[in-house]
Structure 1
């Protein structure tokens, strides 16, 4: 059932980057380990969200504060004998691109709020390199293990918050992956459960701002610890009829452990004493379920739905989303040794509420569209 491999690949972020926790850009799938023979794949995806909100007290709008972003991936898989397969994956595990427009027009003679996100910008960049190994036992069970390196950096500019700015160092740190899988090839059945450890970054951060309590400018280097959280991912597929496959995933991420709290931004008495730049009250579970169909030797297609629970609690101003629902369509064309997959996904972004000083902002009616393209080659 070779079609099963092509259909399942449609679920692997072909329809735009992930959204879990607001900053996740990769679902860290291990499905490439189950490709046949030696295989290389290049992926590109883009997500264009429409996210805006307005203040409860003043009615002032945030403007479009979430610009579109692109992600890439590169993966290589090779067999080392009958029972051992290895893979190398390069991707972007986390990321953020936030830009509040700062277009509010305050009434003539009025005083703008003491704190405002007008003109605020934030950028988080990361590169992940994951090396995986799969050992298959005669019983069709497999053990999976590997190591992951993540390089991350970030900047923040908040001109409406006493001209606060942060620029972090670029740090590379390591984690590990362990898992188990079971297959029944005659019905294209496979279940894989993998755990990815957290990766802790210890940054040097350059913070600068105007301190209203001392009426002086602070410009100093501080230490900042941030954790890319641990996760647990269940991926599954099985044939349910001739040339028809059901597939999906359930992914838990420990986002409640993710926190960005710079020393001066959150600290007192020498700092601003504000809430963390980014934090989440709840962990996140993301569900994906799809149906794939092979039409002929060249074409297969799938439909995929996704869901994350809306928690209803406060989220961070630099990631004002709370759950989502999505639907995606994708198709794969295979000719000779080449496999090309393209897809599109519509995402209904969950309403969110944020706090900033004494004010609350509501983000409602937001959505986005993601597209993806993957090109694979079998050697």
Structure 2
């Protein structure tokens, strides 16, 4: 019962993509380790945000966040009575910024893209008293490009700035502990994901400075997941999670950018983030189950950079799962109320939202 209901809940949290921290694409869950027997899944989701702002009551940005698609693959199999192995392919972080060129905003034409991919290998060992420990290694790459176009009133003359990084591969680790009570579909799992520091070669150029090539460390931050579930009635499951991410450790501060657009780094966060998810799943019959999920990331009131002018979010998601023999097909949709923010330019971004949708296909064998 619990596995079927959680398929719907997991999709609303994962396959429809997270908006946490403005950069997350994956919540880095270890839940696949708790599937029964051999198990494989594929998820794909799309998020279409609508984020607009205004500077001085005159300059309108237009929708400056492009829609994005994420996917993940997972495979799990037992290695014995007390040992399980899982492999996960996902996209931990990402960004798609695209200020419309037709807008009156002084950043019109500015774009930025951040891409990543990670392969995670996990092993779980079952101990007495329904306790298990797990851990593993994550290998990931990141790369990015930025093209900033500024015009008055941001400075006296139009300026162009470009940054391009190489693709850098680095590794981190995962450790966790879980407790289960199968009779009531109860489980609590605590997972720590280590920080991963990438040494990125950055090629910078602008219309007002010489070009430069430097190497700079960028830390993809550490995080902690607390995931839980329990049966609360026949065929009904309560589930959720709390996720903390050390976003203050994530800083991109190339020197030419700093010289052209002082005094803030290109990307930085003044506060860490905590994201809360809570949902209820219900099994209707042998073929159909569904779930509803509410998520919330509190706004911190921080001044934000111009590539990520959002501050927290609240969302509600609905999902349904169809089970046929050993296959589960889940579809979900999510409405996201995106928190408003004030940027370093003094622009006000508010009344923004987004829609996410996703599909997950899972097979047990």
Shorter-chain TM-score range: over 0.9
Matched residue SS, 1:130: strand
| 1:24 and 2:62 aligned | no
What's the offset of the Cα at 1:91?
A: 0.4
What's the offset of the Cα at 1:13?
A: 4.0
Partner of 2:166: 169
Partner of 2:59: 60
CA deviation digits over 1:4-58, x for unaligned, max 9? 1111222324451111110000001111101110001000000000000000x35
Partner of 1:244: 236
Deviates more, 1:126-135 or 1:160-169: 160-169
- Is the 1:264–1:273 contact (alpha carbons within 8 Å) kept by the matching residues of 2? no
Give aligned pairs, total. Answer: 356
- Is the 1:13–1:26 contact (alpha carbons within 8 Å) kept by the matching residues of 2? no
Partner of 1:35: 35
| 1:5 and 2:28 aligned | no
- Is the 1:130–1:146 contact (alpha carbons within 8 Å) kept by the matching residues of 2? yes
Matched residue SS, 1:316: coil
CA deviation digits over 1:183-229, x for unaligned, max 9? 00000000000000000111011100122xxxxx4112112221110
Q: For residues 273 and 352 of structure 1, do their structure 2 counterparts lie closer, same or farther at Cα, with a shift above 3 Å needed?
A: closer
What's the offset of the Cα at 1:320?
A: 1.0
What's the offset of the Cα at 1:173?
A: 0.5
Residues 1-379 of structure 1 mapped to structure 2, 5 A cutoff: 3-14=1-12, 16-55=16-55, 57=56, 59-105=58-104, 116-160=106-150, 162-211=159-208, 217-267=209-259, 272-356=261-345, 360-379=346-365
The CA distance in 2 between the partners of 1:20 and 1:336, in whole Å, is 35
Could you tell me the TM-score, scaled by structure 2's length?
0.95
The CA distance in 1 between the partners of 2:334 and 2:45, in whole Å, is 11
Give the root-mean-square deviation of aligned CA atoms. 1.3
Larger radius of gyration: 1
What's the offset of the Cα at 1:102?
A: 2.9
Gaps of 5+ in 2: 151-157
The CA distance in 2 between the partners of 1:84 and 1:202, in whole Å, is 35
The CA distance in 2 between the partners of 1:13 and 1:376, in whole Å, is 11
CA deviation digits over 1:236-295, x for unaligned, max 9? 00001111100000000001111111121114xxx5534211111110000000000111
- Is the 1:224–1:263 contact (alpha carbons within 8 Å) kept by the matching residues of 2? no
Partner of 2:154: none
What's the offset of the Cα at 1:162?
A: 2.2
The CA distance in 2 between the partners of 1:105 and 1:327, in whole Å, is 33
Matched residue SS, 1:236: strand
Matched residue SS, 2:183: helix
Matched residue SS, 1:256: helix
Deviates more, 1:57-66 or 1:284-293: 57-66
The CA distance in 2 between the partners of 1:239 and 1:281, in whole Å, is 39
Matched residue SS, 1:289: strand
Q: For residues 287 and 155 of structure 1, do their structure 2 counterparts lie closer, same or farther at Cα, with a shift above 3 Å needed?
A: same
Q: For residues 70 and 77 of structure 1, do their structure 2 counterparts lie closer, same or farther at Cα, with a shift above 3 Å needed?
A: same
Matched residue SS, 2:89: strand
Q: For residues 166 and 245 of structure 1, do their structure 2 counterparts lie closer, same or farther at Cα, with a shift above 3 Å needed?
A: same
- Is the 2:304–2:341 contact (alpha carbons within 8 Å) kept by the matching residues of 1? yes
Q: For residues 44 and 325 of structure 1, do their structure 2 counterparts lie closer, same or farther at Cα, with a shift above 3 Å needed?
A: same
Could you tell me the TM-score, scaled by structure 1's length?
0.92
